[in-house]
Amino acid sequence: MLINTEVIIRLVLSALLGGIIGMEREVNNRPAGLRTHILVTVGAALVMLISMDGFLGGDPARLAAQVVSGIGFLGAGTILVQGQSIHGLTTAASLWVCACIGLAIGNGYYMGGIVTFLIVLFTLMTLGFFEKRVLKSSYKTLHIIGYEKPGLIGEIGTLLGNEKIIIKHIELSPVADEIKIGGNIHIDMAIKLPYKYECTNLFEDIKLIEGVSFVQWESHVRGL
């Protein structure tokens, strides 16, 4: 049977590790932040302590398995799908791994829990910057202004699809000054270009679509 001091150390350490990960999520305005990650990590550690110490002769892995599978329902609540864009997967994964860290600390596997914590923190804080700066450099935003009509988005999407361009996200917004701007709808498309794709004729092809009056590609602007 574990002494009270050891129980306290494991629970407090779990709260500390989960809290640091949660703080990183909180700073980045994610749906599950400091408190949620602390609760998940401490709860998982407590479940492991109970399964080890509370039921003599039982199988500690049974309650631990329930935590690992059950945390998926909590993680699902952080995932938001908007059109073709998905947000919250990283936060859901951080909740799941916090539960695993809590189980490890609760079991007394300090080395595994702390090393995993360091890897998670490095991934969230450092690789996130790398992902935004390097991996997403192949993603560009296409700005289109035109007059709303049935099938306009479909025609643009078909054209991009024929060029093997992947549409990652679409946002529509009304245009404030229709006469001045030359359209009544603003279309933002986050797209991924094929490897070594040449954009030479892309704007010309888009401008041939009826209803399109203006195309903007980052700092490169063309109008009709």
Residue-wise pLDDT for 132-159, tens only, equals: 666 555 678 888 988 888 888 889 999 9
pLDDT for the residue 222:
39
Residues 141 and 115 in one domain: no
pLDDT for the residue 68:
79
Q: How many domains does the chain have?
A: 2
Q: Which domain holds residue 219?
A: 136-223
pLDDT for the residue 223:
40
Residues 140 and 194 in one domain: yes
Residues 89 and 140 in one domain: no
Nearest to 14 by CA among 51, 39, 50: 39
Residues 117 and 197 in one domain: no
Question: Quick check: 175 and 185 in contact, CB under 8 A?
Answer: yes
Residues 48 and 35 in one domain: yes
pLDDT for the residue 55:
62
Q: From 86, 114, 133, give the residue that closes a domain.
A: 133
Q: CATH number, domain at 175? A: 3.30.70.260
Residues 145 and 100 in one domain: no
Residues 119 and 166 in one domain: no
| pLDDT-flagged residues of the chain (< 50) | 84, 219-224
Beta bridge mates, 81: 86
3-state secondary structure of 194: coil
pTM across the whole model: 0.60
